[in-house]
């Protein structure tokens, strides 16, 4: 669909594929194409799961430093909003999203992976937030999504030092969810995504929204978000199909409505 970002759909699984040689640097054009791809797969009723993939060699090495190096403050103040917006578009895809991480996922690349619900990494993958080594801080969600995922102390370690984390350590700290041989990364993500195909897609979207929105607020408000989403399921065909199948001891065939 774009020059550097494509969307391929097969068996109700969409793959958002980054392809900007050599390192999938996330310049302004790539960011815009990512946002457009996120909107496309989110709105496609035939898509039930999504994979983020940068190819066999690298996920994404970060935001394009050459593009930013000479930006004055006023320009970056405007650009940073668009940068965060494209990542937020990915985070708000109302379907299960799996990042298939090969090679480097650094800076903006790591922040993009953080927008997925799950992360599968190759054994030689390296993740990190090295912005501090450039006199910067993460600007696409790293100071916010990272501590929510792995805790503030571990996040501060990565952000303050800028060090790269190998796949095994990333797994131990919860930064990734599975580690597989490098050549199996996409296949493993595809197999995981396939487990969501045929599921109750309306309920999956509601569950994702309830969890993500609830994490941003206090418990009482989160419980109210859950209550409203739960009640809303009783207006769906899928809930009636699922509960009827349960009582009849049959397998439900959800319609996504």
Shared-domain flag, residues 173 and 60: yes
Q: Give the active site residue among 3, 131, 216, 248.
A: 131
Q: What angle do CA 115, 119, 121 make, to 5 degrees?
A: 135
pLDDT recorded at residue 169: 98
pLDDT recorded at residue 69: 82
Q: Give the active site residue among 3, 33, 67, 111.
A: 111
pLDDT above 70 as % of the chain: 100
Question: What is the C-alpha separation between 115 and 96, in angstroms, rounded?
Answer: 11
CATH classification of the domain holding 22: 3.90.226.10
Shared-domain flag, residues 119 and 205: no
| Predicted confidence (pLDDT) per residue in 192-223, tens digit | 999 999 999 999 999 999 999 999 999 999 99
Domain holding 217, by residue range, is 201-248
Average pLDDT, the chain: 95
> What is the tally of structural domains in the chain?
2
pLDDT recorded at residue 64: 79
Question: What is the C-alpha separation between 110 and 62, in angstroms, rounded?
Answer: 7
User: Last residue of a domain, which of 160, 178, 194?
Assistant: 194
Q: What angle do CA 170, 173, 176 make, to 5 degrees?
A: 45
Shared-domain flag, residues 116 and 13: yes
- In angstroms, the first-to-last Cα distance of the chain is 28
Shared-domain flag, residues 158 and 72: yes
Record the tokens describing residue 215, joined without a space: 């994490």
CATH classification of the domain holding 220: 1.10.12.10
What mean pLDDT comes out for the span 35-62? 96
| Predicted confidence (pLDDT) per residue in 104-133, tens digit | 999 999 999 999 999 999 999 999 999 999
* Residue 111 known to be catalytic: yes
pLDDT recorded at residue 179: 98
Shared-domain flag, residues 71 and 54: yes
pLDDT above 90 as % of the chain: 89
Answer yes or no: is pLDDT of 79 > 90.
Answer: no
For residue 256, being part of any structural domain is answered with no
């Amino acid at each position: 669909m774009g020059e550097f970002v494509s969307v391929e759909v097969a068996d109700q699984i969409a793959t958002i594929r980054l392809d900007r040689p050599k390192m999938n640097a996330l310049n302004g054009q790539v960011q815009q194409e990512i946002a457009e791809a996120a909107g496309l797969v989110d709105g496609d009723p035939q898509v039930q799961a999504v994979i983020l993939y940068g190819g066999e060699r690298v996920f994404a090495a970060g935001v394009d430093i050459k593009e930013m190096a000479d930006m004055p403050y006023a320009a970056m103040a405007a650009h940073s909003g668009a940068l965060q917006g494209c990542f937020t578009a990915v985070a708000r895809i109302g379907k299960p999203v799996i990042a298939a991480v090969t090679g480097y996922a650094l800076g903006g690349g790591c922040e993009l992976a953080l927008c997925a619900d799950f992360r599968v990494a190759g054994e030689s993958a390296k993740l990190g937030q090295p912005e501090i080594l450039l006199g910067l801080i993460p600007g696409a969600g790293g100071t916010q999504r990272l501590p929510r995922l792995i805790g503030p102390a571990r996040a501060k370690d990565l952000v303050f030092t800028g060090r790269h984390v190998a796949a095994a350590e990333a797994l131990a700290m919860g930064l990734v969810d599975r580690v597989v041989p490098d050549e199996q990364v996409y296949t493993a993500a595809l197999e995981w995504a396939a487990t969501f195909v045929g599921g109750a897609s309306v309920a999956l979207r509601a569950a994702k929204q309830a969890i993500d929105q609830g994490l941003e607020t206090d418990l009482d408000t989160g419980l109210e978000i859950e209550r409203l989403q739960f009640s809303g399921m009783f207006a769906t065909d899928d809930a009636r199909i699922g509960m009827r199948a349960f009582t009849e001891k049959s397998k439900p065939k959800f319609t996504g409505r």
